[in-house]
């Protein structure tokens, strides 16, 4: 019975059981192996051979980073798949950015048509289209994608949504803001940089030459934006949806994107986190010209607080990096990361400083690298605006419109 229950949960090979020295399970204090305790066992993606349940901590196969326990040592090759738990398959899609991949998820809906729900698409360029052609023809083994869900509207997640919808005739499910936002950006992207955006960058210390360079770089962006379909199915916070043979609660949060959707399956303890929680890197939280006075870090920290109310032992599936367990630990790390960055920025503000000067202090490598100025400035401003909102700094606007920040 124990084995069947474990197999239903997707454990193929038992690697570690967490027992106290007295031989009691950490999770429920039972002295017998129990399903509750085995929920904290790592799944091995490398072997199908069952091992004996050990009462002693066993050598672990997958990576461990403090309390973060990765399910697999390595991701699948680009375009290849890996079953994570029964009915849920991981597809690694390469990206033409510094961040070189995105995780897409294929969920078996079952039924007569053997349909599959797809979450996220990768960016739109010829290589990714070729990859999808191969996946649709070979990898899915005759199964058809019947529904497309996008966690949010950034190009690495929604880039090929319109193309796949055109090709497959399926519905696109998204939150309202994330459906609309990329369409606004796409229209903006067709025109030269707007006067408002130019004023934004100028006010934070970027000179005209740097703005012209940035404007030019848009023409050589390594991806296109395929138009989104003209209709979609709206997802809302708190709604329950069924896909992949499981029930999921939609959790809509801000900070990284304004209405980013994650999906929580309580019954099987799975969180499809999207970009809201990543395993190794911190999702971008930035102030951009479209919302020059926004304060997204408060939204992001609030979302972390909310997600920390979920059980700690969930299997977390992030859009970048490796699936892991250790949700609370990872959230605590992200909170600490932002607290440290806020403190570092506060320390820099010994005198009024503009955004570019602060970004050089906070992100010297990114500011020296080609093409990373906007992201570094956006992240810096998000932290500066949070310091202002929490009364740790003041924002000054000169008569010429130049914006500076100083600590209180």
Nearer to Zn ion, 278 or 376 (CB): 278
Residue 379 near Zn ion by CB under 5 A: no
Structural contact between residues 73 and 42, judged by C-beta atoms closer than 8 angstroms:
no
Burial class (CB in 10 A: 0-12, 13-18, 19+), 345: buried
As given in the structure block, the two tokens for residue 118 are 């797809």
Q: Of 60-68, 149-157, 335-343, 372-380, which part binds Zn ion (CB under 5 A)? A: 149-157
Residue 124 near Zn ion by CB under 5 A: no
Q: Of 44-52, 116-124, 154-162, 345-353, which part binds Zn ion (CB under 5 A)? A: 154-162
Q: Of 107-115, 152-160, 284-292, 366-374, which part binds Zn ion (CB under 5 A)? A: 152-160
* Cα separation, 206 vs 228, whole angstroms: 32
Number of chain residues interacting with Zn ion (CB under 5 A): 3
Nearer to Zn ion, 205 or 283 (CB): 283
CB-nearest residue to Zn ion: 275
Structural contact between residues 119 and 105, judged by C-beta atoms closer than 8 angstroms:
yes
Report the Cα–Cα distance between both ends of the chain, in Å, rounded: 63
DSSP state of 234: E
Structural contact between residues 323 and 282, judged by C-beta atoms closer than 8 angstroms:
no
Nearer to Zn ion, 273 or 348 (CB): 273
Q: Of 47-55, 105-113, 156-164, 395-403, which part binds Zn ion (CB under 5 A)? A: 156-164
CB atoms within 10 A of CB 67: 15
Structural contact between residues 214 and 227, judged by C-beta atoms closer than 8 angstroms:
no
Bridge partner list, 394: 406
Nearer to Zn ion, 109 or 156 (CB): 156
Q: How far is the CB of 120 from Zn ion (least distance, A)?
A: 8
Nearer to Zn ion, 118 or 387 (CB): 118
Nearer to Zn ion, 99 or 210 (CB): 99
Written as one string, the DSSP assignment of 171-211 is EEEE-HHHHHHHHHHHHHHHSSPPHHHHHHHHHTT--HHHH
Q: How far is the CB of 94 from Zn ion (least distance, A)?
A: 13
Nearer to Zn ion, 43 or 276 (CB): 276
Residue 391: CA atoms inside 13 Å, Cβ hemisphere, count? Answer: 0
Q: How far is the CB of 91 from Zn ion (least distance, A)?
A: 15
Q: How far is the CB of 295 from Zn ion (least distance, A)?
A: 21
Report the site for Zn ion in 262-281 (rule: CB under 5 A): 275
* Cα separation, 8 vs 12, whole angstroms: 10
Q: How far is the CB of 280 from Zn ion (least distance, A)?
A: 13
Residue 156 near Zn ion by CB under 5 A: yes
Pairing of strands 315-318, 270-274: parallel
Report the site for Zn ion in 305-344 (rule: CB under 5 A): 319
Q: How far is the CB of 158 from Zn ion (least distance, A)?
A: 10
Contact residues: Zn ion, CB under 5 A: 156, 275, 319
């Amino acid at each position: 019975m124990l084995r069947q229950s474990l197999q239903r949960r997707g454990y193929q090979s038992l690697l570690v059981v967490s027992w106290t020295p007295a031989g009691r399970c950490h999770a429920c204090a039972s002295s017998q192996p129990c399903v509750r305790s085995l929920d904290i066992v790592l799944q091995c993606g490398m072997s199908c051979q069952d091992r004996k349940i050990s009462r002693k901590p066993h050598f672990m196969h997958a990576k461990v980073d403090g309390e973060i326990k990765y399910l697999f040592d390595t991701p699948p090759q680009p375009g290849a798949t890996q079953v994570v738990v029964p009915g849920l398959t991981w597809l690694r899609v390469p990206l033409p950015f510094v961040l070189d991949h995105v995780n897409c998820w294929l969920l078996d809906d079952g039924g007569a048509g053997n349909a599959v729900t797809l979450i996220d698409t990768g960016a739109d360029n010829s290589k990714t289209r070729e990859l999808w052609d191969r996946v649709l023809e070979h990898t899915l083994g005759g199964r058809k994608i019947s529904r497309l869900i996008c966690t949010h509207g950034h190009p690495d997640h929604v880039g090929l949504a319109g193309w796949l919808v055109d090709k497959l005739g399926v519905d696109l499910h998204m939150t309202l803001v994330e459906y609309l936002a990329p369409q606004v950006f796409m229209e903006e992207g067709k025109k030269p940089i707007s006067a408002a955006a130019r004023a934004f960058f100028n006010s934070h210390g970027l000179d005209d030459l740097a703005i012209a360079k940035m404007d030019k770089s848009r023409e050589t962006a390594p991806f296109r934006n395929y138009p989104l379909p003209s209709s979609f199915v709206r997802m809302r916070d708190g709604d329950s949806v069924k896909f992949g043979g499981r029930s999921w609660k939609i959790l809509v949060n801000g900070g990284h994107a304004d209405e980013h959707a994650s999906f929580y399956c309580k019954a099987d303890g799975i969180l499809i986190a999207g970009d809201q929680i990543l395993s190794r890197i911190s999702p971008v939280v930035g102030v951009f010209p479209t919302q020059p006075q926004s304060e997204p870090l408060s939204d992001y920290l609030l979302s972390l607080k909310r997600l920390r109310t979920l059980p700690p032992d969930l299997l977390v599936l992030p859009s970048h990096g490796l699936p892991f367990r250790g949700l609370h630990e990872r959230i605590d790390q992200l909170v600490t990361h932002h607290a440290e960055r806020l403190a570092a920025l506060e320390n820099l503000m010994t005198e009024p400083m503009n955004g570019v000067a602060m970004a050089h202090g906070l992100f010297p490598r990114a500011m020296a690298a080609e093409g990373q100025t906007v992201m570094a400035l956006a992240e810096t401003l998000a932290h500066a605006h949070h310091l202002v909102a929490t009364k740790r700094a003041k924002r000054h606007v000169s008569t010429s419109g130049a914006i500076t920040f100083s600590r209180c």
